[in-house]
Amino acid sequence: MAGCRRDRRVLPDKVRPDHLRGDRVVVEVHAGEFVEGTVTANDGGRLRVQATVGGEILDLGEGDALRPGEGGTKISEGAYAVCGIGEARWVACRVVSIDGDQAAIALAGDAPQRIPSRRVVVPGELTRLNIERHFGRTEARAAYRQALRVAGPPPIDSAWRPRPEERLIVRRGEEWVSARVAELERERVLVRCVGEDRAVEFPYADVRPAPPYPVAPWTGGFVLVRPAAEARPWEAMRVASFAEDEAAVVVDEHGDRSTRALRDLVPLGLPPAPSAN
C-alpha cells in the first residue's frame, strides 16, 4: 500500500466536491458546535446526514460538511480547527503544537491534550471565525467567573445580627436565596428559605439582610439581582452603568444586558478605594 502513504503532518481541508452516500462527515450544527454523521443522500449538492449519536437527520449544503481523515492542508500552530475527541465527538479546538503524527490541542476553557493529527480537521474561513468567537466567549466567561469569585460576599457590618422574622438572603453552596428568620441562636440562625417548609441552620457568615442595602453598588462591581420568582436564586451580574429612575444596567456572564432597580441589587465585595486625585 505504498501508493496510499501521505505526509502525516498534513490535515484535512474542506471536503472534495462530491459527497457519496455512506461518507462520514463532520457538520457544524451551531456556531462552533459540531456533530459527526453519515451521508444518506446527495440531491444536487444538498446533503442529508444522519448524526452518529442520536440519529438526527440534518439537511445542509455540500460545502457545509467537513470530511475527517483526509490530507490536503498543513497544520499551523495556533490555528483554530475541529478536533475529534473520542469515538464520534468533534469539538472546536486550537492547535498548540505539532509533533509528527500527534497534535497538542486546547479546547475552549480546558488544558491542552494530545490527539492523532488525523483527528484534526482544518475548516473553511466562516467556521474558523465561528470557532475563534467561541473561544473568545468561553475565555470571557472564565474571566468573568474568576472576577466574581474574587469579589467575595456582600459586605456587612461585623456587629450586624438579624432580627426575628427579618427577611434575608442566605448562601447555600454557590447560590444566594431568599429566606426569613425562624429562630436566632448564639452562633447560628435558623431560617426558612422561600418555597420550603423546613427550617435550616446557617452560620451568620452566610446570612445577609435583604435589600435595600446600605452599601451602594458601583460601576464595574458585581451585584446579586433579585429574581423575578422569589423562590429562585439571586443571579450575580456586573454593573455596566447607571440609568435614570434609581436603576442600573447590569450584564450577565453571557454579555446580556438588562436594567434593574437599585432596590433589587445587593453589592458583592467592597467598593474600590477612592482615587488619590
- Report the pLDDT value the prediction gives residue 79, as an integer from 0 to 100: 93
Within this chain, do residues 196 and 60 fall inside the same structural domain, yes or no? no
Within this chain, do residues 125 and 86 fall inside the same structural domain, yes or no? yes
Within this chain, do residues 206 and 76 fall inside the same structural domain, yes or no? no
Buried b (16+ CB within 10 A) or exposed e, 117-129: bbbbbbbeeebbe
Within this chain, do residues 18 and 132 fall inside the same structural domain, yes or no? yes
Cβ count near 39 (within 10 Å): 19
- Report the pLDDT value the prediction gives residue 62, as an integer from 0 to 100: 81
198 lies in some domain: yes
Domain range for 66 = 2-146
Within this chain, do residues 142 and 184 fall inside the same structural domain, yes or no? no
Please tell me whether residue 3 adopts helix, strand or coil conformation: helix
154 lies in some domain: no
**Which of 79, 84, 91 is CA-nearest to residue 124?**
79
Write out the chain's pLDDT in tens, 277 residues.
444 444 444 444 444 446 788 889 999 988 888 999 999 998 888 899 999 988 999 998 888 888 887 554 677 889 999 999 888 889 999 999 988 889 999 998 777 899 998 899 989 899 999 999 999 998 899 999 999 999 999 998 878 889 999 999 999 998 999 999 999 988 899 999 999 989 999 999 999 999 887 788 999 999 999 999 999 999 999 999 998 889 999 999 999 999 999 999 999 998 887 765 5
276 lies in some domain: no
> How many separate domains does the chain show?
2
C-alpha–C-alpha distance, residues 207 and 154, integer Å: 9
- Report the pLDDT value the prediction gives residue 244, as an integer from 0 to 100: 83
**Which of 253, 247, 229, 221 is CA-nearest to residue 178?**
229
- Report the pLDDT value the prediction gives residue 87, as an integer from 0 to 100: 82
C-alpha–C-alpha distance, residues 230 and 95, integer Å: 46
Within this chain, do residues 256 and 174 fall inside the same structural domain, yes or no? yes
Encode 29-91 in three state secondary structure: EECCEEEEEEEEEEECCEEEEEECCCCCEEEEEHHHEECCCCCCEECCCCCEEEEEECCCEEE
* Cα angle for residues 73, 79, 80 (degrees, 5° grid): 100
- Report the pLDDT value the prediction gives residue 128, as an integer from 0 to 100: 92
C-alpha–C-alpha distance, residues 58 and 53, integer Å: 12
CB-based burial label for 9 (10 Å; 0-12, 13-18, 19+) = middle
Within this chain, do residues 207 and 121 fall inside the same structural domain, yes or no? no
C-alpha–C-alpha distance, residues 67 and 118, integer Å: 11
- Report the pLDDT value the prediction gives residue 277, as an integer from 0 to 100: 56
Please tell me whether residue 265 adopts helix, strand or coil conformation: strand
C-alpha–C-alpha distance, residues 249 and 206, integer Å: 27
113 lies in some domain: yes
Please tell me whether residue 254 adopts helix, strand or coil conformation: coil
- Report the pLDDT value the prediction gives residue 5, as an integer from 0 to 100: 46
- Report the pLDDT value the prediction gives residue 18, as an integer from 0 to 100: 62
Q: 80 with 133: CB under 8 angstroms?
A: no
- Report the pLDDT value the prediction gives residue 64, as an integer from 0 to 100: 85
- Report the pLDDT value the prediction gives residue 236, as an integer from 0 to 100: 96
- One-letter amino acid identity for 214? P
- pTM, 2 dp: 0.70
CATH number at residue 200: 2.30.30
